[in-house]
Amino acid sequence: MKKFPFEKSNQSQTPHFDEVLQQLKESKDFTCFTVGIKHDTLCISYFNTLIDTNILHRDLLPYLNKSSSTLYDAVQALPIENLLFTQKPADVQNHLLIGYISITVEGNNDQAVLVKADSQLSRTVSLPEVEFSVIGPKESLVESLDTNLHLIRKRLPIQELKVEVLTVGKLSKSRVALLHIDGICNQKNVSTVIQRISNLDVKQIIDSSYIAQMIADKKNSPFPQFIDTERPDRLAAVLGEGKLVILVDGAPHGLLGPATLVEFFTASEDYFINWTMASFFRLVRFFAVLFSILITPIYVAILTYHYELLPKNLINTLVISRSGIPFPPILEALVLELVIELLREAGARLPTKVGQTIGIVGGIVIGTASVEAGLTSNVLLIIVALSALASFTTPVYQMGNTIRLIRFPFLFMAYYIGILGVAISFCFMLIHLLRITTLGRPYLEPLYPPKLESLKDSLIRLPLTYLSKRPASKHEE
Amino acid sequence: MRIKMILLTSMMTLFLSSCMNIEPTVLNEINIATAISYDYIDKDHFTSTAVTPYYLPDKRVNNVTFTATSSLSKDVRQRMNQQTDKPIFSGKIEVVLYSKELAKHDLIRMTDTLIRDPSIGNTVYLAVVDGKAQDVLIKQFGNVDKGTYLSNAIEHNIQSGILPKTNLHLFSYAHNSEGMDPFLPIIKPKNGNPIITGVALFDQGKFVYQTKDHENIIFKMLVETSSNKEGFSAKLGENLFASVYNISSKVSYNIPEPMTNSPIMINLKVEAVLREFTGEQPDKKVIRTIEKKMEKELKQRAEKLIVKLQKLEVDPLGVGEQVRTRTRSWNKDEWKSLYPTIPFQVNVNFEILESGAVE
């Protein structure tokens, strides 16, 4: 990890404890008071906004041995397991900043005792909102890393579950935890991820998505390469498949990787229901995605170039719906697609209650009014609305965004050279997908390269008894 | 390097696709012709009428026709375009009609333009009109587009009526085959309403014969393995009639000595449901008699028809093709002289599957 300028200067000058405390006192929420013992004066200092004052008043002050002569004796009787003895002033500073109480002897710069007393202010574990499922566990991750680790560890009470914690961010000093199960997870992946995370040179890590974006193999690809989930049960399940899980303190979402394309269409509910239904729902999702990407471009292509392709009974409907519309199909489609994006964006930015109103205004009023005004054809309105709806069927939110975005190049190509353009765009997309790797593994696995063993849990899900083997792609190499 | 590749690819798609010369044909900015008819004027000229549907906002359909006279049918389109606000496109043509007069000359010359145009499908229905072909298209009737109406009419008659499978592809296939002659459905306009009356038989490209009512069903049975919702009836005796429906038939050829004068056996296996019987409740024995009578009836009709075809020297059944597939040294001219002299023997195997839901 890189050193920060102020840290460097601290170390080069090796300031005394007093100087460190003096610097910290410039903050108004820093408290420092003294307690007398036999010969010396103990200086107790902490950030009152970071610590749990209960610990100070209940567990620390009453047990301080005021009759002892040394610092060591004074803290002997403290009912706290987490006592740190340090001689480095920098250590004191760093720990004070994450909620420790330091006890030093005034005028003596040899040693300091650090007492962990950080207040655990955190949301309680609540229902998953993004990945809600009717059946199955209803816990979701919260912003506290320790709580999250607890949620996962209690599902995997084995010693092979290893947790690696790294600190990232010059300013945020975020704790990033890397979880894997020894012996199942590919060790190469673990070291790759550790390498990439520790190489990060950033100021702040606000959320786990920062990590996902920065350690991805193909950073410019619109396709997400780590699955982002708020369900601890899903994380625990994939750990057992030999994947890595990355948790970031302060982020209520965990990352899991290496992820393949088909896994983005996997909901954890798929495993809670009978395999026949789960397979059907998965196929529906894949169909929905293809539909969502292709249907508007195909509409534009056919209406602009290939009227021959229309069944004779459909021409009537389409011609009537298009009659009197002053725009070419591409403009019509683009405007409607943008309107849907506007609605989604507005709905996402507004509070829930207002968001609903926007949905009604957008969906019903704008939709019907624009058809009645003769600005758009009602057939296209149905198509665009359906394709937007279909894009929301993906269980992973980011994938839905990707699908809505890659529709636009398809649209332009469809307008430009018709169905051929759609085919060319599809080829480009396929080539891109084939080129993506996540942590060095092909993104399209197990579709390409084909892995029969992993196909059992890809486009369809076979009964759980068939899935006892780990997917072939995650075997240790 | 990568940037260069991306640039190159996008340039290629941009510029090369411009060479493809595709013009937008936005659906509501074109006139989609759904049916075209050709009428004979003189040896080199014909009148062509195209019908295009105008879809009105209240879901009604107005059929608009354009008529032009010319000697080449693409030239006709130019003349038609001069009459209209939107260009006429032929990609959705469902039916092409030729007047009998024109069919008596050469239809091959006329179908050439259809085959050459890539936007016209091979499954377009061709038909011969007994009378003026224009008449079928000009009269407005019903609330449907004319081309769709006609193609639906032909289609359902192929699926369950008297017509054997026919379309542009089969027509030109039969024409180009050495041992086969084409046929087309024949339509008769009655007060503008098209009525499918039978099949027009061609000698190469020239119309020669129109099948009569009683020949239609047996013709279809002989041409192809078919199923037929229509029925036919036979007189079994004094005041005793039986009629059957839901006929499914299968035809197979038995040619022991191809390319000789020896007889050709045509085996016809027919299954049907008894629909009407004027006698008492039929038992097994009666049904067997009915079957026998039907077999005799069908055999008679089939042999009569084949003799007629031999006399006309046309071969819409494709017997020549059957012979050709069984002959190593096929000779077209030899077959042509042989065909009228071959004795045909039709063996009918008639089976009544059920005799209806009578107590």
Q: What is the DSSP string of A403-438?
A: HHHHHHHHHHHHHHHTHHHHHHHHHHHHHHHHH-EE
Hey, which of A344-348, B190-194, B294-298 has the most confident mean pLDDT?
B294-298
- Which three-class secondary structure state does DSSP give residue A262? helix
Residue A462 burial (C-beta neighbours within 10 Å; 0-12, 13-18, 19+): middle
For residue range A70-102, list pLDDT tens digits in order. Answer: 777 778 778 887 788 888 888 888 888 888 888
Six-digit token pair at A372? 């009645």
Percent of chain B with pLDDT over 90: 29
CA–CA dist A205, A173 (Å, integer):
8
Percent of chain A with pLDDT over 90: 36
Q: What is the pLDDT of residue A2?
A: 44
Backbone CA torsion sign across A55, A57, A63, A65: positive
Give backbone dihedrals phi and psi of A85, rounded to 5 degrees, phi first.
-105, 130
Confidence of residue B21 (pLDDT cuts 50, 70, 90): low
A-chain CB neighbours of B119 within 8 Å are: 308
Give backbone dihedrals phi and psi of A210, rounded to 5 degrees, phi first.
-60, -45
- For chain B, the first-to-last Cα distance in angstroms comes to 86
What is the arithmetic mean of pLDDT over B291-297? 88
Residue A90 burial (C-beta neighbours within 10 Å; 0-12, 13-18, 19+): middle
Crossing angle (nearest 10°) for helices A397-417 and A419-435: 140
Confidence of residue A366 (pLDDT cuts 50, 70, 90): confident
From the list A149, A158, A150, A216, the residue with the least C-alpha distance to A176 is A149
What is the radius of gyration, based on Cα positions, of chain A?
29
Confidence of residue B358 (pLDDT cuts 50, 70, 90): low
A-chain CB neighbours of B20 within 8 Å are: 417, 420
Q: What is the DSSP string of A136-203?
A: S------S-HHHHHHHHHTT---TTEEEEEEEE-TTT-EEEEEEEETTTS-HHHHHHHHHHHHT---S
CA–CA dist A196, A198 (Å, integer):
6
A-chain CB neighbours of B24 within 8 Å are: 304-305, 328
- Which three-class secondary structure state does DSSP give residue A246? strand
Amino acid found at B213: D
Confidence of residue A455 (pLDDT cuts 50, 70, 90): confident
Mean pLDDT over all residues of chain B?
86
User: Is the pLDDT confidence value at B129 over 90?
Assistant: yes
Q: Which helix (H) or strand (E) holds A295?
A: helix A275-304
CA–CA dist A227, A264 (Å, integer):
7
What is the arithmetic mean of pLDDT over A98-110? 82
CA–CA dist B97, B82 (Å, integer):
22
CB B172 within 8 A of CB B116: no
CB A383 within 8 A of CB A292: no
Cα dist. B204→A247, B39, B175 in Å?
80, 20, 6
Cα dist. A335→A304, A387, B151, B265 in Å?
16, 14, 38, 68
A-chain CB neighbours of B25 within 8 Å are: 304-305, 307
Crossing angle (nearest 10°) for helices A397-417 and A275-304: 30
CB A76 within 8 A of CB A68: yes
Bond preceding residue A258 cis, omega within 30 of 0: yes
CA–CA dist A243, A230 (Å, integer):
16
For residue range B136-165, list pLDDT tens digits in order. Answer: 888 877 788 888 889 999 999 998 888 999
Six-digit token pair at B341? 């002299």
Task: List the 381-440 stretch of A: residues with Cβ below 8 A of B.
Answer: 416-418, 420-421, 424
What is the radius of gyration, based on Cα positions, of chain B?
25
List of domains in chain B: 28-211 (no CATH), 212-359 (3.30.300.210)
Shortest CB distance from B28 goes to which of A302, A319, A416?
A: A319
Confidence of residue A471 (pLDDT cuts 50, 70, 90): low
Six-digit token pair at A237? 């399940």
Cα dist. B46→A94, A340, B77, B321 in Å?
98, 54, 13, 34
| Nearest 10 degrees: Cα torsion A383, A386, A392, A393 | -120
Task: List the 194-253 stretch of B: residues with Cβ below 8 A of A.
Answer: none
Confidence of residue A274 (pLDDT cuts 50, 70, 90): very high
CB contact under 8 A, A318 and B27: yes
Name every residue whose Cβ is closer than 8 Å to that of residue B40 and which is 6 or more positions away in sequence. B46, B99, B101, B102, B105
Q: What is the pLDDT of residue A11?
A: 46
Q: What is the pLDDT of residue B256?
A: 87
What is the arithmetic mean of pLDDT over B236-254? 83
B-chain CB neighbours of A315 within 8 Å are: 27, 32, 53, 55, 92
CA–CA dist A442, A444 (Å, integer):
6
From the list A322, A319, A316, the residue with the least C-alpha distance to B148 is A316
Q: What is the pLDDT of residue B171?
A: 93
Six-digit token pair at A188? 């190469």
What is the arithmetic mean of pLDDT over A8-27? 69
Confidence of residue B74 (pLDDT cuts 50, 70, 90): low
From the list B194, B190, B209, B84, the residue with the least C-alpha distance to B146 is B194
How far from the centroid of its chain's Cα atoms is residue A251's Cα?
Answer: 7
Six-digit token pair at A428? 């480009």
Confidence of residue B266 (pLDDT cuts 50, 70, 90): very high
- Distance from the A303 Cα atom to the nearest Cα atom in chain B, whole angstroms: 5
CA–CA dist A52, A175 (Å, integer):
20
Mean pLDDT over all residues of chain A?
86
Q: What is the pLDDT of residue A181?
A: 92
Residue with tokens 């849990």, as numbered in its chain: A457
From the list B52, B133, B131, B148, the residue with the least C-alpha distance to B94 is B148
Q: What is the pLDDT of residue B290?
A: 85
Shortest CB distance from A416 goes to which of B17, B53, B91?
A: B17
A-chain CB neighbours of B94 within 8 Å are: 312
Reduce the secondary structure of chain B to three states and give it as a string: CHHHHHHHHHHHHHHHHHCCCCCCCCHHHCEECCEEEEEECCCCCEEEEEEEEEECCCCCEEEEEEEEEECCHHHHHHHHHCCCCCCEECCCCCEEEEEHHHHHCCCHHHHHHHHHCCCCCCCCEEEEECCCHHHHHHCCCCCCCHHHHHHHHHHHHHHHCCCCCCCHHHHHHHHHCCCCCCEEEEEEEECCEEEEEEEEEEECCEEEEECCHHHHHHHHHHHCCEEECCCEEEEEECCEEEEEEEEEEEEEEECCCCCCCCCEEEEEEEEEEEEEECCCCCCHHHHHHHHHHHHHHHHHHHHHHHHHHHHHCCCCCCHHHHHHHCCCCCCHHHHHHHHHHCCEEEEEEEEEEECCCCC
Q: What is the DSSP letter of A117?
A: -
From the list B280, B263, B244, the residue with the least C-alpha distance to B344 is B263
What is the arithmetic mean of pLDDT over A170-174? 90
CB contact under 8 A, B27 and A320: no
Cα dist. A188→A160, A162, A199, A461, A475 in Å?
16, 15, 16, 28, 11
Q: What is the pLDDT of residue A6?
A: 46
Six-digit token pair at A266? 């996997």
Hey, how many other C-beta atoms are within 10 angstroms of the C-beta on A463? 12
Residue with tokens 């005796």, as numbered in its chain: B237
Q: What is the pLDDT of residue A8?
A: 44
What is the arithmetic mean of pLDDT over B183-189? 92
CB A315 within 8 A of CB A308: no
Shortest CB distance from B27 goes to which of A322, A416, A421?
A: A322
CB B219 within 8 A of CB B211: yes
CB contact under 8 A, A417 and B20: yes
Mutate to test the interface with A, among B27, B56, B151 (most CBs of A within 10 A): B27
Name every residue whose Cβ is closer than 8 Å to that of residue A110 and which is 6 or more positions away in sequence. A87
Name every residue whose Cβ is closer than 8 Å to that of residue A396 and which is 6 or more positions away in sequence. A224, A227, A228, A229, A264, A265
Six-digit token pair at A429? 């997309």
B-chain CB neighbours of A302 within 8 Å are: 27
Cα dist. B32→A163, B115, B135 in Å?
69, 18, 20
What is the arithmetic mean of pLDDT over B301-310? 92
Task: List the 321-350 stretch of A: residues with Cβ below 8 A of B.
Answer: 322-325, 328-329
User: Is the pLDDT confidence value at A235 over 50?
Assistant: yes
CB A114 within 8 A of CB A95: yes
